[in-house]
Amino acid sequence: MADPIEERARRAYENGRRVRAAELSAPFLAIGVLAMVTGTRVSTAIFVSLALTLLAFAFLVRGQSLGRAVLPGLLLGLVPFGCAHAAQHVPASLGHLCTGSQCVSWCIPMCAAGGLIAGAWIGRLARRAASPFVFAVGAGSLAVLTGSLGCACVGLSGVAGAALGLGSGLLPTLVFHRRAVV
Amino acid sequence: MTDLAHLDHELARLADGDRSVFSSVFGLLSPIVQRFCRRRLGDGPDAADAAQIALEKIFARASDYDPARPALPWALAITAWECTTVRTQRRRARTEPLPETELDAELEGADHALAQQADRAALHEALAQLSPSDRATLEEAFFDSLGEDANRGPKDASFRKRKERALGRLRALWRGAFGNG
C-alpha cells in the first residue's frame, strides 16, 4: 500500500498542474474575442475558442511533448487565421479563384496555403521534440482549431481547406516519425 | 551522478509532466524535508505536520520549478517557509500567557539553545554552498575582525570588495533557503 503522505503529495501535484494549466490556457479565450472582432460568427467563435481552450488545458495538464506543443500550435494556427482574414480583403474585382471547371472563394485556397505553411513549420519543430509524432498531432490539432476561427468564413469547406493544407505540411513528419510511438 | 544532480534532473522531468519519476523524487526529497523540519522545529508532531504540508506544497508547485536552478534550495525554501508558518501558528495558539515558573524559564532556555543550534547548522549549510574562494575570504575577514590577523596590515580595497561580494552571495543563499527571517 502506498505511503499516505506520498498519495497526498501526488494529489497536490496533479492539482498544481491543473491550476497552472487553467492559468495558462484561460487567455486562449481571447482568440475567440479576436475572431468575433474580425467578423467570425459569434456562435462559431464561442464554440471553437472554448474547444481550443479546453484542448490546450488538457495538453498542459498532460505535459511533456503535448504540453510543449500548445504555444507553437496556437501561434502557427494564427497563420491560416490571418490568411483567411486577408482573403476577405481581396478586392471584389478579383472575384473568385476559378480553375476551369469550378470557381471557389479566395478564402479556401488562402486557408489551405496558411495551413500548409503552419503544417510544414510544425513538422520542422516536431523533428526536434522528444516525441515528434505526439508533438505534431498536438500542435496540429490546436493549429486547426485556431485557424478554423478565421477559415469558417465560407463554412466547413474553409476549415477543411485549412485542415488539408496543415495535414499535407505535416505528412512527412507523421509518416517518418510514426514508428517512434507505434 | 550525485544525489543532488539526480534530484535536479528528476525534478525537471516531473516539472515537464513525466509522472514516472514521481516516486523517485518523493523518495529523494521526503527524508531531506523531514530532517530539515525536525532540525527547525524539534522532534515532535509540529515537525511532522510541517514536513507533510511542505511536501504537498513542493509537489503542488513542482510544475513551476525552473530546471536552470538547483532543486534542493528551491525545495528547502518552501520547507523553511512552512516551518516558520507552523512556528508562528504554535506561538499564536497560546492565547493566555502561561504562568512564569522556573521550569518554563528552563524550557525557554532549551528552546532558545535548540533554535540557535538549528540556525548554526543552517549557516554551515549555506557556507558549504559557497565557492572555496568565497569561504576563504569570509574566514580571513572573520579572523581579521578578531584582530588575529594583525600581521597582514590594513586590508586593501580589493579584499573589501571580495568580502562584500562573498557576503552578498551568502545572504542570497540564506534568503533563498530560509527566507528573510
pLDDT at B130: 84
Supply angle C-alpha A40, A43, A45, rounded to 5. 45
With contact defined as beta carbons under 8 Å apart, do B17 and A63 qualify?
A: yes
Q: Which three cell numbers stand for residue B83?
A: 516551518
User: Are B60 and A62 in contact (CB < 8 Å)?
Assistant: no
Residue % of chain B over a pLDDT of 70: 76
Mean pLDDT within B16-44: 88
How does pLDDT run across A68-107, given as a tens digit for each residue? 999 999 999 999 888 888 877 666 555 565 666 666 667 7
Contacts with A20 from chain B: Cβ below 8 Å: 63-64
User: Are B63 and A63 in contact (CB < 8 Å)?
Assistant: yes
Helix (H, G, I), strand (E, B) or coil at B180: coil
A96 — contact with chain B (CB < 8 Å)?
Answer: no
With contact defined as beta carbons under 8 Å apart, do B83 and B40 qualify?
A: yes
Contacts with A67 from chain B: Cβ below 8 Å: 16-17
Distance from CA of A9 to the nearest CA of B (A): 5
Task: Please state the φ and ψ torsions of residue A102, each to the nearest 5 degrees.
Answer: -145, 160
**The residue to which cell 521534440 is assigned:** A129
pLDDT at A14: 94
Q: Which three cell numbers stand for residue A63?
A: 505535459
pLDDT at A71: 93
Topology of the domain comprising B1-95: Rna Polymerase Sigma Factor; Chain: A (1.10.1740)
CB atoms within 10 A of CB B27: 12
Q: Which three cell numbers stand for residue A66?
A: 503535448
Provide the residue type at B107 as one letter.
Answer: L
Spans of all domains in chain B = 1-95, 130-181
Distance from CA of A25 to the nearest CA of B (A): 15
B23 — contact with chain A (CB < 8 Å)?
Answer: yes
Mean pLDDT within A22-48: 87
With contact defined as beta carbons under 8 Å apart, do A84 and A143 qualify?
A: no
Mean of the per-residue pLDDT values of chain A: 83
> Which ipTM did the prediction report?
0.74
**The residue to which cell 516525441 is assigned:** A131
